[in-house]
Amino acid sequence: MTEEVVPGKNTAIIAYLTIVGAIIAITMNTEPKHDFARFHTRQAFGIHLLFHAFALFSSVWYNQYGLYGLYVCYIILWFYGFLGALNTKKQLIPVIGSYFQKWFTFIQ
């Protein structure tokens, strides 16, 4: 069984390993630039940023069940994106993935 080699796959996988991993992936993809890595770095950066924004918002108005929902949503979106990177698929995250591609155009 031969595995297809996709340029930027390692960078795409690193992007999903916390917000720091996404920032590292941004710097890793500066030269050479890979479209696959760019796509997944935008998706991962958006997931992490959205999670941290909602977590900060939730910490002001503490609601234990809201935090459970936040973590469940984060884990589901993270797995969806991470498995896409592992399987070398460029699949948008449901509902918000297309927005991440538009908003984070500074990620080259």
How much is the average pLDDT of 10-17? 93
Residue found under tokens 């760019």: 38
103/38 Cα distance (integer angstroms): 13
Residue found under tokens 């920032």: 23
Structure confidence by residue, pLDDT tens digits, 51-81: 999 988 887 777 788 888 899 999 999 999 9
How much is the average pLDDT of 88-94? 91
55/71 Cα distance (integer angstroms): 9
The secondary structure of residue 99, as a DSSP letter, is: H
For residue 24, pLDDT beyond 90: yes
How much is the average pLDDT of 35-59? 92
pLDDT at 57: 85
How much is the average pLDDT of 29-52? 92
How much is the average pLDDT of 81-105? 92
The model scores a pTM over 0.85: yes
